Structure 1
């Protein structure tokens, strides 16, 4: 390693820089003088341009790269330091998912009149800044209550004073008497300066040189410049505009024109900043969904004669990753997948569509890109930041361009959802069969409102029997959809759909009202009445005023609360403070609560302890195992546990005499299932109860 004069280097840079490098101008080799952060490229003794390019590629935010590459090539750097002792370059650096404001200080060592060494110091400009949104980092909109800053660069004191008086009521005014001083002030305050008013003719550093040097700095170049001059030369105006100025004002100044021009430029700049902020996702730097929708329609219209493809990448069990590894690691996985998607799908329009779903739109010329993503899916999984993740891929090819963009995207999502539970398959294509199912679901959603009005939803009753004397002691209300044209839609088709889209809240209340009306008529006519339980879905539990609505319906029908118990599925009853509050309100109002589907896969012991259920219903999956030794022990223990907590036990899904006999031996309280009765329509149920 070459010998360097430490005292001269620290005299030039001071000691605040964590990384300092020396470039030997004769060999154009770069050497580490002080190295704390191990920056890529510079960590080795190598050619300066190669080292700088490696650093820029690996650490500099992509929007700054091209400008930084041009400004910091060895030839540009050498020429600039021949004229100036030192200067700063501001830019944005990235590491993992974080972006930092950085600056690099360049200084020189001269031997006589010859530049022999270049000193480079790297520093984090603001250690407190930690922002994930790359586009928002470019500029900062001034918060409400703070005045925007305007920098006036003008050597003429009278003109400077005129501008200051014109603007100081509305802006905080900074002043510089020449371009060199102006660049220094800009370098120190560029994040806060909204606009620069720049005179062209000045000593030391004129307006043209100011614009040139400002343009070479990635961040300083973001501050708009209005050029002011007493010269009406069109050539000067074009030259300034070519160097990046946004507007031109001639002297003498007209206060209204000056204010109007400044206001227009600032509004335009801040509007573009706002658009940039909402266009890109904070974490992945891909388009947000709304920005994607906007650009996708333009994209499709532009290539109207070509086929298009939509791809969605979905991380399976992402909530589990969050819970196991933590949010930071989960975010790292998302950033990694976004970068892989960007790499293999270079020409696509890419978006973070949902929390853990990335989506891309490609045209037919990019079919190779689509195939490349398919081919490398396993590789993407293998190189992920955590092991054993599963990435599912849904593809909608040759899209129907007449559809709305959200519907087009939904088709790729439907494809990926079709394999969400399939551990063997990772890629699925949207098919005509999927489309038919989708159309059928849309039709059911469209028909729902009229079905409620026309009472097409029919309540069926499945009896519950006392195990000891085998008498009917209650029933569960179930719903069937009997369409006006005679078609019977099974609940397995419409209930999951309505749970997903929220229509189940209305359906739950419809069934509850129907059962309350039924019980009211029985009581009014002095007929036998047994409790009929009604299912309350998770969506209904969280619905506003559910307790008040259900209490009102009971009171309107003038019936006891005990004759309409409410069944909550085990998953819906998983304990939380919010659910506990609602359940306590229901109990306080007078409702009896049954826990449905106990043992279906969730841990409900906390719920049993904290929530005031009166009855537990053992899921059919437990009853199906009752003839096995281990299964029998599990059911017996569940019954004993519930009885120990003073809870009744209902076994549902009982289909055989052997199951019935076993449950009777275990002292189960009630049985529901096909062994005694299938769900009955109202007429048949009345006949059964009347016997």
Structure 2
């Protein structure tokens, strides 16, 4: 291709463009002249239509693509540049997880009377159009600090003056004497113009051509047009409406009618803008949850004869992604997944349901193919912006259409939640058992308050035995739920639930108060006591007034702090500055701290070093390996570690004589487990302890 000088390019485009491409009209090939943002897969020479289609697919916001394909086809472009030296096209682009407002400038280089080269410049014009830069004025959207602008495109000076005089008190006025000038003004100010008053009959570029050219640019086309005309030709009205005009005003002008029509059109447009802002998630472009709820009911009712399915995509450990790679990269992941969801769920209604959860409602009479979903997931993970992301999928198949939309969505969420900790399983279906479990959990939550008032939670005591003397030297307080009808609910059902919803803080306090009252009774009646440890959950540790509350309970019962040690699970005691501060306050107040469940997973040696524990309790999962050589060595090292840090060592979950004898040889201090005793009711514990 014949070289073109830089000065000639800048003469046509200026120097503001990030990307400049040159199209050779004879070969219809496009070449990169200046390219700071290279297109993926862009070669030194590509056919123009291929290059534009690739650009549109990769960069252009979905709703603008069809318009651009028509406006930027080589034939359309060539025909237009034969008639005009240059023009702009405005559109929205999506990159860096954000929507950008772009414009492309097209210019021409002639060889005599023949169009020889087309020069294309791409530029970003992000100014202040984004929703968060808009203020609400009179319940409508208006650019911050500005009055609405009206563009009057009218060649007759008297008519322009009449319109200006009618509107000047309420609007800022821009003027153009023909359609060509009007398009130029619109291109430069479309973000601020609320409405266009367009005359049909004008020289240079009439109203019909104006509308036709405006229609080819999606952002310019978003500005509503009211056509003004001196004749009452129904044919002209229909032609203008077909080209995108929204209303007609006839001449001579009636001030009240002009103002009323303009006001109605602007309010309608701005209401639509407000709705669009509310409906779409700004990051992903998917529906917001509330908009999804609204449209989902219509969607289901419309296809009442077909089966519907809800599918949830959940990113495992998304907080870890944000913490490791940063929030921007986390946003990139969400945008990528939203686009993948669109691709694989073309016929669905999609929403960003939660921060890292995407949800879709689909219709199909075919059975869901899990193998196909697994393959799609593999492809999505392979191409993700960061390596090794894990995506879980929850599915509610053949939804009950009589249910409310939030309940329908909850069922898919239940399914994905059921595999959130399962590294082997990526797809789960909602089952009736899940629903029954959720109903049971909600019932437990609803009954919690009355259960506390009615003292349905019973404190049980599991003795701790000295290994050498085999005498009871302490106990751990555990809780059971015995309902008034006699039903007993396992702690494995209600403790994890209450830990998730925060009710465990009240339950911890309830148990601690009961144990303190038990110790108070023993002391007041001159009966012997042994330390009874009480569990302090993760949620309670983070409760802001936990130290003051527990100190108050001890002082009210007039008992020594060391007779109610506090047990912190290993995971709850993972070292942090907040945990360090709380534990230091507890120790300073007089409490003795035990690390519970050591060896169950985290094994935080930092916590043992930094936090002031007096006792470490070896978890049952560790003791179960005592019959293996490696397991025995690990347990021995754990005991030696505890002693080396001047701590007592208690072994939990001891069930056999062999385990007990091994622990004695290893110089473990205390044993707790079914070998000696299961958790006991208060009266049984007193009887067994013989005090």
Output the TM-score relative to the length of structure 2. 0.87
**What secondary structure does 2:402 align onto?**
coil
Question: Once the 2 structures are TM-superposed, how far is the Cα of residue 62 of structure 1 from its aligned partner?
Answer: 1.4
- Contact 2:150/2:174 (<8 A) preserved: yes
Deviation at 1:5, TM superposition (A): 6.9
1:115-126 matches, cutoff 5 A: 115-126=114-125
Determine the structure 2 residue equivalent to 1:432: 432
Is 1:653 the counterpart of 2:653? The answer is yes
What's 1:92 paired with? 92
Asked if 1:611 corresponds to 2:614, the answer is no
Partner of 2:302: 302
Q: Which residue of 1 aligns with 2:460?
A: 460
- Report how far residue 620 of structure 1 moved: 2.0
Residue deviations 1:559-600, cap 9 Å, x none?
Answer: 443333322212112233333444444444443332221222
Q: CA deviation at 1:347?
A: 0.7
CA distance in 2, matches of 1:253, 1:556: 86
User: What displacement does 1:488 show?
Assistant: 1.9
- Structure 2: how far apart are the matches of 1:592 and 1:274? 59
RMSD: 3.7
SS in structure 2 at match of 1:292: helix
Which residue in 1 is equivalent to 2:146?
A: 147
Partner of 1:505: 505
Other-structure match for 1:349: 349
In 2: Cα distance, 1:630 partner to 1:342 partner: 51
The SS at the match of 2:409 is: helix
Name the residue aligned to 2:676. 676
Change (3 A) 1:35 1:551: closer
Aligned to 2:214: 214
1:480 aligns with 2:480: yes
Cα distance change of structure 1 residues 261 and 667 upon mapping to structure 2, 3 Å threshold: farther
Within 5 Å, give how 1:616-627 maps onto structure 2.
616-627=616-627
1:513-539 deviation per Cα after TM superposition (whole angstroms, max 9, x unaligned): 322332333333333333322222222
Q: How does 1:120-199 map to 2 (within 5 A)?
A: 120-126=119-125, 146-155=145-154, 160=160, 173-199=173-199
Deviations 1:171-193 (A, max 9, x none): 55544444333322322232333
> How far is the alpha carbon of 1:395 from its aligned partner?
2.5
Q: Residues 166 and 617 from structure 1, CA distance in 2 versus in 1: closer, same or farther, beyond 3 angstroms?
A: farther
1:11 is aligned to: 11
Distance in 1 separating the partners of 2:666 and 2:369: 62
CA shift in 2, pair 1:475/1:260, >3 Å: farther
Question: Does the aligned pair in 2 maintain the 1:654–1:673 contact within 8 Å?
Answer: yes
Check whether the contact 2:109–2:117 (CA below 8 A) recurs between aligned residues.
yes
Equivalences for residues 175-324 of structure 1 within 5 A: 175-228=175-228, 236-249=236-249, 262=262, 264-319=264-319, 321-322=321-322
Corresponding residue SS for 2:213: helix
Whole-Å separation in 1 of the counterparts to 2:201 and 2:238: 15
Change (3 A) 1:655 1:228: same
Distance 1:166 1:416 in 2: 61
Question: What displacement does 1:423 show?
Answer: 4.5
Q: CA deviation at 1:389?
A: 4.5
CA contact (8 A) 2:198 2:227 kept: yes
- The answer on 1:102 being equivalent to 2:90 is no
1:30, 1:42 within 8 Å by CA — same for their partners in 2?
A: no
Measured in 1, the distance between the counterparts of 2:439 and 2:336 equals: 36
Gap runs ≥5 in structure 2: none
Deviations 1:137-178 (A, max 9, x none): 999987885224414324455665666566666655544444
Shift of residue 421 of structure 1? 4.4
Other-structure match for 1:515: 515
Superposed CA offset, 1:296-344 (max 9, x none): 2221222223221222333445455555555555544444433333222
**CA pair 608-256 structure 1, distance change in 2 beyond 3 A:** farther
CA distance in 1, matches of 2:163, 2:522: 88
**1:469, 1:655 → 2: CA distance?**
18
How far 1:666 sits from its partner (Å)? 4.4
Distance 1:576 1:63, change over 3 A: same
Q: Name the stretch that deviates more: 201-210 or 471-480.
A: 201-210
Q: TM-score, normalised by structure 1?
A: 0.87
3-state SS of the aligned residue for 1:300? helix
Query: Partner of 1:188: helix, strand, or coil?
Result: helix
1:338 aligns with 2:338: yes
Flag the 1:542–1:246 CA change in 2: closer, same or farther, 3 A. Answer: farther
Whole-Å separation in 2 of the counterparts to 1:576 and 1:169: 63
Map of 2:83 onto structure 1 = 83
2:603 is equivalent to residue 574 of structure 1: no
CA distance in 2, matches of 1:597, 1:355: 33
Paired residues of 2:625 and 2:631 also in contact (CA < 8 A)? yes
Q: Distance in 2 between matches of 1:15 and 1:618?
A: 71
State the alpha-carbon separation in 2 of the partners of residues 138 and 63 from structure 1. 22
In 2, are the aligned partners of 1:153 and 1:179 still within 8 Å (CA)?
A: no
- Does residue 524 (structure 1) correspond to residue 544 (structure 2)? The answer is no
Which stretch shifts more, 46-55 or 230-239? 230-239
Deviations 1:27-83 (A, max 9, x none): 545455555544468746454334333332232221111111222223332333233
Give the superposition deviation at 1:225.
3.4
- Distance in 1 separating the partners of 2:587 and 2:228: 76
Q: Rate the CA distance shift 1:62–1:7 in 2: closer, same or farther, 3 A.
A: same
Instruction: After superposing the two structures, state which structure 1 stretch, 409-418 or 377-386, moved more.
Output: 377-386
Deviations 1:387-410 (A, max 9, x none): 555443332222222222232223
Deviation at 1:478, TM superposition (A): 0.7
1:491 has 2:454 as partner: no
Question: Which moved further from structure 2: 273-282 or 33-42?
Answer: 33-42
Q: CA deviation at 1:544?
A: 5.0
Residues 601-652 of structure 1: per-residue CA shift (max 9 Å, x gap):
1142333344343433222223333454444444444344444444443322
Return closer, same or farther for 1:265/1:469 CA change in 2, 3 Å cut-off.
farther
Deviation readout 1:438-486 (Å, 9 max, x if unpaired): 3333333343333333322211111223344443332211111222232
Task: Kindly state the Cα deviation for residue 363 of structure 1 after the two structures are TM-superposed.
Answer: 1.6
Cα separation, 2, equivalents of 1:578 and 1:255: 69
Per the alignment, do residues 449 and 255 of structure 1 end up closer, same or farther by CA in structure 2, a change over 3 Å counting? farther
Q: Answer whether contact 2:19 2:34 (CA < 8 A) is retained.
A: yes
Q: What is the DSSP-based 3-state SS (H/G/I as helix, E as strand, rest coil) of the residue aligned with 1:219?
A: helix
Distance 2:650 2:71 in 1: 78
Q: Residue 169 and residue 357 in structure 1: after superposition, are their counterparts in 2 closer, same or farther (change >3 A)? A: same
* Secondary structure at the counterpart of residue 310 of structure 1: strand
Alpha-carbon distance in 2 for matches of 1:163, 1:643: 93
Specify whether residues 381 and 602 from structure 1 end up closer, same or farther in structure 2 by C-alpha distance, changes over 3 A only. Answer: same
When structure 1 is superposed on structure 2, of 238-247 and 60-69 the one drifting more is: 238-247
* Paired residues, number: 686
Report the Cα distance in structure 1 between the residues aligned to 2:478 and 2:216, rounded to whole angstroms: 72
